[in-house]
């Protein structure tokens, strides 16, 4: 059954730049597409791609250069010209791996072995966060809204300073979380009173209404409740939004997902999974009481689970999913009409990128389509049993076991057969990987292509390579 379309409020697309940061030209093409798809704004998580200056310069990426000040400004200008608001996201508590991994910042961690969480007791840490915010705000002229992160603050309360602080009667880890976020939010409001502040909600999910009311956060921040699962619990989610509302936080946001939330290493997006997530969110929106003011929804597209994890799916393979999710919100269901709108706009035969054949020669509304096609092709080869389980095949196990390799006693005829087969697979992989690399470097930095191939292709090639080398070594011993 259809729900009503997504209620008023903004539809934001999340640009996660902590992995595979698009080259500026490609970024502009994506923004152009987003505007055609009905997106009202961008939630931009720059992380180490922001051109931090002064003492913070060490936060800039080294695998590829960070965006320049001009590139950051022209991206905003272009988005504005398409009627989109740009909302930067700056992590201020958890997920600060890109800051706290640097040796000069080690002492600001809550726990020495937890690279993501800031120690909230050190004034230097608060100053650092506010300096990051200041530089970001100043490079966003006319900024109206800022997201301060604050999700997944792992191990909070476990550090020495926290133990001391928690030693005083009546103090809790919840209060510790709330006091740091309130400090940060108040400081931002003092300097820029007109800025609206958004934050992730997950650290507040188990807090009572009284705790939230007493925190000083009410009226200061707008929580963004995120859930990316296809089987999102509608009742639970709706009642959580109602609880925030009763605590006085009436302005609320939702966050869904169009990619980067399936598995940490997913390579090709499944559209249906993400459409299902949006169908659940539509049910949540339809169930809310009038007191809840839904400010909008951020459709997240994670590029890494965190700064130190592998790449998730790249943007091109996820564009059919994004288009389908937006159409689902617009229609209140993923109807035949919504489906044909997606295939028509993108010039493909299916909303599932794995099944999508081209229906139009022009690439206008699907920037990066060639790369998506090549990735899908290579991915199916990488996933094939013949390649993945080559070492478990009868011939390798029967005539070229570790025992044989060690003693260099093999049957030349069968070994040569194995060698030819492995070499053929290697050549095929090499050729397809090269095509992917060539296409990828047009849209992404060389470092991204390098990382993508090392993550997806190298692990499949390595054992095949090893077998061919081992066979050659063995044949030398037995063939004149």
d(CA 99, CA 108): 10
Question: 128: exposed, middle or buried (C-beta count within 10 Å: 0-12, 13-18, 19+)?
Answer: buried
Percent of the chain with pLDDT over 70: 99
DSSP 304: -
Could you tell me the two tokens for 133?
């915010």
The pLDDT of residue 46 is 98
In this prediction, residues 125-133 reach a mean pLDDT of 98
The pLDDT of residue 270 is 97
Confidence of residue 363 (pLDDT cuts 50, 70, 90): low
d(CA 281, CA 290): 17
In this prediction, residues 119-127 reach a mean pLDDT of 98
**pLDDT tens digit sequence for 295-305:** 999 999 999 99
Q: How many CB atoms lie within 10 A of CB 25?
A: 10
In this prediction, residues 219-236 reach a mean pLDDT of 97
In this prediction, residues 59-78 reach a mean pLDDT of 98
**pLDDT tens digit sequence for 270-323:** 999 999 999 999 999 999 999 999 999 999 999 999 999 999 999 999 999 999
Q: How many CB atoms lie within 10 A of CB 412?
A: 14
The pLDDT of residue 360 is 76
CA-closest candidate to residue 248, choices 297, 189, 207:
207
Mean per-residue pLDDT of the chain: 96
Question: 209: exposed, middle or buried (C-beta count within 10 Å: 0-12, 13-18, 19+)?
Answer: middle
In this prediction, residues 336-345 reach a mean pLDDT of 94
Residue 249 pLDDT more than 70? yes
Answer yes or no: are the C-beta atoms of 325 and 251 closer than 8 Å. Answer: no
Instruction: Count the helices and strands in the chain (H runs, E runs).
Output: 18, 10
Q: Which residues face 23 on adjacent strands? A: none
Answer yes or no: are the C-beta atoms of 171 and 111 closer than 8 Å. Answer: no
Confidence of residue 388 (pLDDT cuts 50, 70, 90): confident
Q: Is 455 among the catalytic positions?
A: no
Could you tell me the two tokens for 395?
């011939």
DSSP 303: S
Active-site hit among 53, 131, 152, 352 = 152
**pLDDT tens digit sequence for 394-428:** 999 999 999 998 988 889 999 999 999 999 999 99
- Which run of H or of E encompasses 75? helix 69-81
Confidence of residue 235 (pLDDT cuts 50, 70, 90): very high
In this prediction, residues 434-445 reach a mean pLDDT of 98
In this prediction, residues 179-205 reach a mean pLDDT of 98
Residue 361 pLDDT more than 90? no
Residue 1 pLDDT more than 80? no
């Amino acid at each position: 059954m259809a729900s009503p379309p997504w209620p008023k409020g903004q539809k934001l697309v999340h640009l996660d730049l902590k992995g595979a940061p698009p080259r500026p030209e490609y970024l502009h093409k994506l923004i152009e597409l987003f505007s055609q798809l009905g997106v009202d704004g961008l939630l931009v998580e720059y992380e180490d791609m922001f051109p931090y200056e002064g003492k913070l310069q060490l936060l800039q990426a080294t695998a590829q250069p960070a965006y320049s000040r001009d590139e950051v400004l022209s991206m905003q200008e272009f988005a504005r010209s398409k009627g989109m608001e740009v909302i930067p996201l700056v992590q201020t508590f958890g997920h600060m791996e890109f800051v706290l991994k640097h040796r000069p910042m080690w002492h600001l961690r809550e726990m020495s072995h937890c690279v993501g969480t800031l120690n909230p007791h050190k004034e230097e840490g608060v100053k650092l966060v506010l300096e990051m915010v200041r530089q970001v705000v100043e490079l966003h002229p006319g900024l109206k809204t800022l997201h301060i992160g604050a999700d997944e603050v792992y191990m909070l309360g476990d550090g020495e300073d926290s133990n001391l602080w928690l030693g005083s009667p009546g103090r809790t880890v919840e209060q510790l979380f709330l006091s740091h976020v309130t400090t940060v939010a108040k400081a931002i409001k003092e300097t820029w009173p007109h800025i609206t502040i958004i934050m992730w909600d997950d650290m507040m999910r188990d807090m009572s209404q009284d705790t939230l009311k007493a925190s000083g956060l009410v009226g200061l921040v707008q929580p963004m409740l995120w859930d990316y699962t296809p089987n999102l619990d509608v009742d639970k989610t709706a009642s959580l939004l109602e609880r925030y509302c009763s605590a006085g936080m009436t302005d609320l946001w939702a966050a869904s997902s169009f990619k980067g939330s399936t598995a940490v290493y997913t390579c090709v997006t499944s559209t249906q999974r993400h459409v299902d997530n949006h169908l659940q969110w539509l049910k949540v929106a339809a169930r809310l009481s009038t007191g809840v003011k839904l400010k909008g929804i951020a459709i997240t597209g994670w590029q890494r689970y965190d700064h130190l994890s592998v790449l998730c799916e790249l943007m091109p393979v996820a564009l059919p999913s994004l288009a389908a999710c937006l159409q689902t919100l617009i229609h209140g269901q993923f109807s035949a009409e919504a489906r044909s709108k997606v295939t028509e706009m993108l010039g493909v035969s299916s909303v599932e990128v794995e099944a999508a054949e081209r229906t139009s020669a022009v690439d206008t509304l699907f920037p990066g389509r060639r790369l998506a096609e090549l990735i899908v092709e290579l991915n199916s080869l990488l996933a094939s049993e013949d390649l993945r389980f080559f070492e478990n095949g009868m011939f390798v196990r029967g005539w070229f076991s570790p025992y044989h390799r060690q003693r260099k006693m093999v049957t030349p005829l069968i070994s040569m057969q194995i060698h030819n087969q492995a070499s053929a697979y290697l050549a095929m992989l090499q050729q397809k990987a090269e095509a992917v690399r060539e296409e990828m470097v047009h849209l992404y930095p060389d470092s991204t292509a390098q990382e993508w191939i090392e993550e997806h292709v190298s692990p499949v090639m390595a054992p095949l390579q090893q077998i061919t080398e081992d066979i050659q070594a063995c044949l030398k011993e037995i063939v004149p």
